[in-house]
Amino acid sequence: MKPATHRHLYAVKIVFGMVVVVWAFSGSPVAGAPPSPPNLLVILTDDQGYHDVGFNGCKDIPTPNLDSIASNGVRFASGYVSSRLSSPSRAGLLTGRYQERFGYERDPEWPPNDPGIGLPLTETTLADILGQTGYVTGLIGKWHLGAHPEQHPLKRGFNEFYGFLGAGQPYLPEELIMDQTHKAKTEDGSRQIKLLSNYEPIKATNYLTDEFSEAAVHFIARHQDQPFFLLLAYNAPHGPLEAPDKYLSRFSRILSPNRRTYAAMMSAVDDGVGGVLAELRKDGLERQTLVVYLSASGGALDVNSSDNYPLRGSRKDSWEGGWRVPFAMQWPGNLPRGMVYDHPVLSLDIFATITALAKVPLNPAVPLDGVNLVPFLTGQKTGAPHEAIYMRMPDLGAFAVRSDDYKLVIPATNQAPELYNLSQDIGELNNLAEERPAVIKDLENKGAAWSRQMKSPGSLGSTGSNAPQPIDTDAGRSKPGP
């Protein structure tokens, strides 16, 4: 064999370099060069308790598939949504912005003839942004951001929609409720599950959670050859409490009928997520897909028998139980495996993370409140992603600010502020307000500065006025909350 000439060696180097480049963009993890753009799958539950998933300590409801997202990626111990209400929380997630920036702080009414009730048409959604950059976008499940034709998901950036527009639906079709113990009725007394496939009304024939899971599997199978964004927005375990015997039979040991049905509903979600994750693996997409799982709000303890342990309060409160939620993320080969991340993160960060990964140009005049989490999870950046995070509930006069370990809570109008060190007191039992007046003042100042950037609460989803409502930092604090 003749020795290789310099020309031959140069050719070999070129070929080797081309192979490396192809490998780097084929979905294999390469340090400093993750596959781009990744798919995004957001799995959203509704009114799920913080404790009602295995990775947060749940013992009576097995959730192996939801747990796998945390074990294959990152569990966010302090993961928050931006509102304890369903519709504003979804508005924040889909815009990457505090919904207070556009006056959207209340769940909307149901007048389908009013385009002003719902997510303001001036706002750009994550589906809008990703759709403009070549992603196919899909929403399966609950919308709850407006019922007018101009507010339809297909008018807000989604290419495909399979679900319902309002706040809730029954889960069991008429033919499945014959032998069910729990037969909660909808507001209009109807048992028909009213769904839309894009714009076409259809009737569900299966348990609603299973319908959504199956539709998600089909969406991924159809679009495996192009980047996609899928929002799989289960309405479970939001009421009414309903489940078929297929799932109820798994929990005969749970004595409370409501808790048993809640467990069955969560088990159906977990089964469905297992099928969706299996489809990603089957199609070779697991390493090319960023998967995020969270609840849209804290557990509604007195409504659906959820469990927020060890947090205080429920969905209706400004304590941790209202807005700290189960939250996990996986992206195998690109994010650490089995990591527990303690710094506070927000549902708003999903928008900022995927648009950064997809290198999407954003409008600098429309500020994002979310942060790209990947550099913080991989060690490229240190410290906390957010200096502080905020939640307000205008109809109650409630307000909360968390910065580092400290959290300021104003539970309602005319109530004194409370202060907790969450690293030592996650259950918010030891009020430090009298001992730490300087911390109280600092958090109030942060809240006032944040409030000045926000609009006052609008009317049922309208944009509202531009007049901010500042925190009263006087000693009496008779008007606590921005």
Domain 39-378 has CATH 3.40.720.10: yes
C-alpha distances in Å from residue 358, one per residue of 36, 128, 352: 6, 14, 10
At 174, the pLDDT band (50, 70, 90 cuts) reads: confident
Asked if 138 and 230 count as a contact pair (C-beta separation under 8 A), the reply is yes
Q: Which residues of 169-203 are buried (b: 16+ CB within 10 A; e: fewer)?
A: bbbbbeebbeebebeeeeeeeeeebbbbeeeeeee
Q: What is the pLDDT of residues 10-27, one digit of tens each?
A: 333 333 333 333 333 333
Express as a percent the part of the chain with pLDDT over 90. Answer: 77
Provide the edge-to-edge strand list for the sheet that holds 398-403: 389-393, 398-403, 406-410, 418-421
Closest CA to 90 of 111, 116, 74, 108: 108
pLDDT digits (tens, 9 = 90+) for 278-308: 999 999 999 999 999 999 999 999 899 999 9
Q: Cα–Cα distances in Å, from 107 out to 35, 89, 117, 272?
A: 38, 9, 10, 27
pLDDT at residue 60, as a whole number:
97
DSSP state of 134: T
Counting residues of the chain whose pLDDT is more than 70, the rounded percentage is 84
Place of tokens 């924040």: 92
Length of the chain: 482
Band the pLDDT of 482: cuts 50, 70, 90: very low
Q: What is the pLDDT of residues 251-287, one digit of tens each?
A: 999 999 999 999 999 999 999 999 999 999 999 999 9
Same fold, 39-378 and 387-482: no
User: Residue 408 is inside which H or E element, if any?
Assistant: strand 406-410
The C-alpha atoms of residue 86 and residue 107 are separated, in whole angstroms, by 7
Residue 479 has pLDDT above 60, yes or no: no
Q: Please indicate, yes or no, whether the overall pTM of this predicted structure exceeds 0.75.
A: yes
Confidence category of residue 5, pLDDT binned at 50, 70, 90 = very low
CB 260 within 8 A of CB 251: yes
Res 191: pLDDT:
59
In the numeric block, the tokens 């490396």 are attached to 20
Lowest mean pLDDT across 12-16, 334-338, 457-461 = 12-16
> Where does the pLDDT of residue 316 fall: very low under 50, low under 70, confident under 90, or very high at 90 and above?
confident
Please report the pLDDT score of residue 458 as a whole number.
60
Q: In 10 A of CB 446, how many CB atoms?
A: 18
CATH code of the domain occupying 387-482: 3.30.1120.10
Number of Cβ atoms within 10 Å of the Cβ of 72: 18
Mean pLDDT of the chain, nearest integer: 87
80: pLDDT strictly greater than 60:
yes
The rounded distance, in Å, linking the Cα atoms of 33 and 29 is 7
**How far does Cα 74 stand from its chain's mean position?**
15
CA distance 107 to 105: 7
State the residue for tokens 């007046």. Answer: 437
Could you tell me the residue ranges of all domains in the chain? 39-378, 387-482
Give the Cα separation of 139 and 156 in Å (integer): 11
CB neighbours of 98 closer than 8 A, spacing ≥ 6? 82, 92, 348, 369, 390, 454
